[in-house]
Amino acid sequence: MTETSHHQGTFTETKQGRNKRITEYIAGTIFFLMALLMIAPLLMIVGYLLYKAAPVLSIDFLISNPIRGMREGGIWAPFLGTIYLVGISLLISTPVGVLAAVYLNEYARESWYTRIINLAVVNLAGIPSIVHALFGLGAFVLFAGIGRSILAASLTLAIMTLPVIIASTKEALRAVPTAFREACWNVGATRWQTIRGIVLPNSFSGILTGIILQVSRAAGETAPIMFTGAVFYKAIPEGDLFAYGLLEQCMALSMHLYTISTQVPNVPEAVPYGTAVVLLGTVLLVNSTAIILRVYMRSRKRW
């Protein structure tokens, strides 16, 4: 009996252990509540928008053009314009940003030149969107002679999204263990072969994170496209995925939402909310697809 009592006493929780467990429980509860506080506003916003937009949400609303001074009809023209602007801007900024990050992280040595480049990237990320708009107007519309067009607007958005793509790609590249690179070099692989075969595949999920962040920003910006390529109204064939040319102007959801909310009188209340829901839904769909791809790529990591 004495020996049994001795063993039971050995595993009895001490006061210090109990205090640690209570402290950890309190900390976990606080963190959980903080997470809920982050999610709750999003759910409330989405729920409110869906409630207000319910009367107009339909397939016809998506694939029909605005009519009667944009007081009726759908949002096909601005929806397609947004797809063009976001898609083309990412096609431009993604390879440039990724290659710039690869150079800065894998090739460039620490010097005044690389420090200036890194400083320029940080400063570029802090420039207000209206300044990007004026730069796009001066550089692409006037100086380059492109004119107000989808291409000029996409180039402006690409310049605006570059810093985050470069920064996130650099962090993803740094996360790949140096031992992977050294193992490749020891068997005779060149630096580029190592980057292409080992570093980039293992950092793809991190690179994708930066691109995901920029989809929302590019889709929601109004000032840069207003100065460089977006128009108040433009009629296009309904359902035609190739209705816009690169050197043509286009409508966009962000500018369309601003216009019908502030410039057009007597617009039914549900129409602006419906436009906001489509814009938000488009961004969430693209982000969800990218997140699924990122999770899949992470599952295939070699470390």
- DSSP letters for 63-91: HS-EETTTTEE--HHHHHHHHHHHHHHHH
CA separation for the pair 287, 63 (Å, rounded): 22
Residues 119 and 19 in one domain: no
Q: What percent of the chain has pLDDT over 90?
A: 35
Give the angle subtended at the CA of 58 by the CAs of 65 and 231, to the nearest 5°. 25
Average of per-residue pLDDT values in the chain: 87
Q: Is residue 27 part of a domain?
A: yes
In a domain, 49, yes or no: no
Tell which phi-psi region holds residue 239, choosing left (phi > 0), alpha (psi between -120 and 50) or beta. Answer: left
Do 185 and 249 sit in the same domain of this protein?
A: yes
Flag whether 2 is in a domain: no
36 and 95 in a single domain? The answer is no
What is d(CA 258, CA 37) in angstroms, rounded to the nearest whole number? 29
User: Averaged over 204-209, what is the pLDDT?
Assistant: 83
Q: What pLDDT is recorded for position 275?
A: 92
pLDDT for 114 beyond 90: no
For residues 176 and 270, membership in a common domain is answered with: yes
Is 210 in the same domain as 83? yes
Enter the pTM of the model: 0.83
The 3-state secondary structure of 185-241 reads: HHCCCCHHHHHHHHHHHHHHHHHHHHHHHHHHHHHHCCHHHHHHCECCCCCCCCCCC
CATH classification of the domain holding 100: 1.10.3720.10
How many structural domains is the chain composed of? 2
- Tell me if 197 is assigned to some domain: yes
Using the predicted structure, report yes or no on whether residue 256 has a pLDDT greater than 80: yes
Q: Do 30 and 88 belong to one domain?
A: no
Q: Are residues 205 and 149 located together in one domain of the fold? A: yes
36 and 69 in a common domain: no
Q: Are residues 226 and 253 in the same domain?
A: yes
Rounded Cα gap, residues 146 and 137, in angstroms: 10
Question: CA torsion angle for 16, 17, 22, 26 (degrees, to 10)?
Answer: 100
**Domain assignment present for 46:** no
Its domain, for residue 15, covers 8-41
What average pLDDT does the segment 279-303 reach? 78
Same domain assignment for residues 120 and 12: no
Q: Is residue 53 part of a domain?
A: no
pLDDT value of residue 190: 86
In a domain, 293, yes or no: yes
So what's the pLDDT on residue 135? Answer: 93
Range name among 71-75, 115-119, 169-173, 297-301 with the lowest pLDDT average:
297-301
Residue 51 lies in a domain: no
Same structural domain, 209 and 86:
yes
* pLDDT range class, residue 100, cuts 50, 70, 90: very high
pLDDT of residue 3: 52
pLDDT at 78: 92
pLDDT at residue 302, as a whole number: 59
Kindly state the tokens that stand for 206: 């991190």
Residue-wise pLDDT for 13-48, tens only, equals 787 888 888 889 999 999 999 988 888 888 898 899
**Same domain (yes/no): 131, 273:** yes
